Amino acid sequence: MKEVKWIDADLIVTNKNQPRLYFDDEALADLALSIKYNGLLQPIVVRHMGDHYEIIAGERRLRACRLNGMDEVPCILMETSDLQSAELALIENIQRQDLSAIEEAKAYVNLMRNSSMTQEEVAKKIGKSQASVANKIRLLNLPEEIQQAVSSGVITERHGRALLSVEKEQQRNVYKTIINKGYNVKKTEEYIQQLKEPKEAKKKSSLHGITKHTKIAMNTIEQAVKMINDGGIKATVETRDDGDAVMMVVRIPKQ
């Protein structure tokens, strides 16, 4: 077991790669009260950085200790590189389920940028599927206002993923509608589908002389695209009459 060292709280600084961006004041006050009566059960993990110490894991605990006016806090010292520190901070927060989907997504992007890792390599490092990592990162394609709503819990991650299937210029309007009407995820998905149906119907009405087998083939492709969108990937299909054939172009983003 690593030695616990009591360190001056003023010498401990935030990790520049801290993935957690939002700290709930009420939850911090509750944690501070718990620490006051029960003590800090899990020491803060830090690394030595010149004349100060940088947090690897436990910023929320440190904030709660400071609320209690503690001059010194129990810490465990680790020797790590910048990259290892960022990885450990991310893994610790994910295991505690402390991060919002947006915070998690930004941490993944930051980790890939600093390490040149791929999405698949990041997924293996943190013990998640590549699809899970990709779905989180796609949320960063939403407007900042909607990202903030996901971060603060105004809407869920699944709401956000549903909004990704909407044209970018419509996302804010659809977001405002689901907020004003209090739509849950299922209602949101149904509402978005209703918005799409007139466009899809208009495209189909412009096609003539389509056989039953061709329609079945077209419906199969459209259903496949819908499944991709339901999985959080913004895929589109364009259908047009090309004389003696029907042309369907499916676009799936690389990232």
How does residue 1 score in pLDDT terms, banded at 50, 70 and 90? Answer: low
pLDDT at 244 over 80: no
Residue-level pLDDT at 12: 94
Q: Which two tokens stand for residue 28?
A: 């911090």
pLDDT at 198 over 70: no
How does residue 4 score in pLDDT terms, banded at 50, 70 and 90? Answer: confident
How does residue 6 score in pLDDT terms, banded at 50, 70 and 90? Answer: very high
Q: Is the dihedral of CA 120, 113, 46, 60 positive or negative?
A: negative
Q: Specify the length of the chain in residues.
A: 255
Residue-wise pLDDT tens digits, 57-82:
888 889 999 999 999 999 999 888 88
Residue-level pLDDT at 65: 93
248-254, Cβ contacts within 8 angstroms, sequence gap of 24 or more: 248/218, 248/221, 250/221, 250/225, 252/228
| pTM recorded for the entire structure | 0.57
Which of the following CATH numbers is that of domain 4-81+92-97: 3.40.605.10, 3.90.1530.30, 1.10.3720.10, 3.40.50.720? 3.90.1530.30
Average pLDDT over residues 86-103: 76
Residue-level pLDDT at 202: 54
Residue-level pLDDT at 208: 62
How does residue 248 score in pLDDT terms, banded at 50, 70 and 90? Answer: confident
Three-class HEC string of 70-111: CCEEEEEECCCCHHHHHHHHHHHHHHCCCCCHHHHHHHHHHH
Residue-wise pLDDT tens digits, 95-132:
666 678 998 898 888 888 878 888 888 888 877 888 88
Q: Which one of the listed residues 3, 26, 54, 59 is annotated catalytic?
A: 59
Tell me the C-alpha distance between 32 and 224, whole Å.
Answer: 50
Establish whether 3 is a catalytic residue. Answer: no
How does residue 204 score in pLDDT terms, banded at 50, 70 and 90? Answer: low
DSSP 8-state assignment for residue 202: H
Q: Are strands 4-8 and 44-49 parallel, antiparallel or unpaired?
A: unpaired
How does residue 199 score in pLDDT terms, banded at 50, 70 and 90? Answer: low
Tell me the C-alpha distance between 140 and 109, whole Å.
Answer: 10
Which strand (E) or helix (H) includes residue 6?
strand 4-8
List the domain boundaries for the chain.
Answer: 4-81+92-97, 206-255
pLDDT at 10 over 80: yes
